[in-house]
Amino acid sequence: MIIEAILKINPNAKVSVRGNDINTCEIQWHEGTTPIPKADIETKMSELQADYDAKQYQRDRLTEYPNHNDCIHALLDGGDTLTELQAKRQATKLKFPKP
Amino acid sequence: MAITTLNNRSINRSDTASADQVWTATSATASDFQAASSGKLLQFVNQEEQTAFSTTSSSAVDSGVNVSITPTASDSKILLTTNFTARTAGNTYSSFYIYRQIDGGGYSELERLEGGWHYYIDEDTSTSFVGKKVDTTHNTTNQIDYKIYCHVQGGGSTLSLLPDGTNELGNFSAMEIGA
Residues of chain A numbered 28-47 and touching chain B (CB < 8 Å): 28, 30-31
- Indicate whether B143 pLDDT > 80: yes
Say if B58 is an interface residue toward chain A (CB within 8 Å): yes
Q: Please tell me the predicted confidence (pLDDT) of residue B148.
A: 95
Q: Please tell me the predicted confidence (pLDDT) of residue B123.
A: 64
- Model confidence at B146, pLDDT cuts 50, 70, 90, reads very high
What's domain B41-177's architecture? Sandwich (2.60)
Subunit contact B56:A18, Cβ cutoff 8 A: no
Residues of chain B numbered 117-156 and touching chain A (CB < 8 Å): none
Comparing B134 with B14, the larger pLDDT belongs to B134
- pTM of structure: 0.75
Q: Please tell me the predicted confidence (pLDDT) of residue B119.
A: 60
What average pLDDT does this structure show over A38-46? 96
Subunit contact A18:B52, Cβ cutoff 8 A: yes
- Indicate whether B9 pLDDT > 60: no
Q: Please tell me the predicted confidence (pLDDT) of residue B68.
A: 98
Say if A18 is an interface residue toward chain B (CB within 8 Å): yes
Subunit contact B158:A19, Cβ cutoff 8 A: no
Comparing B34 with A60, the larger pLDDT belongs to A60
What average pLDDT does this structure show over B21-40? 71
- Indicate whether B2 pLDDT > 60: no
Q: Please tell me the predicted confidence (pLDDT) of residue B165.
A: 73
Residue A11 amino acid letter: P
Query: Which residue on chain B is closest to A33 by alpha carbon?
Result: B57
- Indicate whether B19 pLDDT > 50: yes
Q: What percent of chain B has pLDDT over 70?
A: 77
- Indicate whether B121 pLDDT > 80: no
**Min CA distance, A9 vs chain B (Å)?**
14
| Distance between CA atoms of residues B55 and A3, nearest Å | 8
**Min CA distance, A22 vs chain B (Å)?**
12
Q: Please tell me the predicted confidence (pLDDT) of residue B20.
A: 60
Q: Please tell me the predicted confidence (pLDDT) of residue B7.
A: 53
- Give residue limits of the domains in chain B: 1-36, 41-177
What is the average pLDDT value for chain B, to the nearest integer? 83
Residue B39 amino acid letter: G
Q: Please tell me the predicted confidence (pLDDT) of residue B4.
A: 47
Q: Please tell me the predicted confidence (pLDDT) of residue B90.
A: 72
Is A14 in contact with B61 (CB distance < 8 Å)?
Answer: no
Q: Please tell me the predicted confidence (pLDDT) of residue B10.
A: 54
**Min CA distance, B9 vs chain A (Å)?**
56
Of B61, B89, B158, the CB nearest to A28: B61
Q: Please tell me the predicted confidence (pLDDT) of residue B178.
A: 92
Q: In this predicted model, what pLDDT tens digit does every residue of B48-96 receive, in sequence order?
A: 999 999 999 999 999 999 999 999 999 999 999 999 888 887 777 888 9
Say if A22 is an interface residue toward chain B (CB within 8 Å): no
Can you give chain B as a three-state secondary structure string? CCCCCCCCCEECCCCCCCCCEEEEECCCCEEEEEECCECCEEEEEEEEECCCEEECCCCCEEEEEEEEECCCCCCCEEEEEEEEEEEEECCCEEEEEEEEEECCCCCEEEEECCCCCCEECCCCCCEEEEEEEEECCCCCCCCEEEEEEEEEEECCCEEEECCCHHHCCEEEEEEEEEC
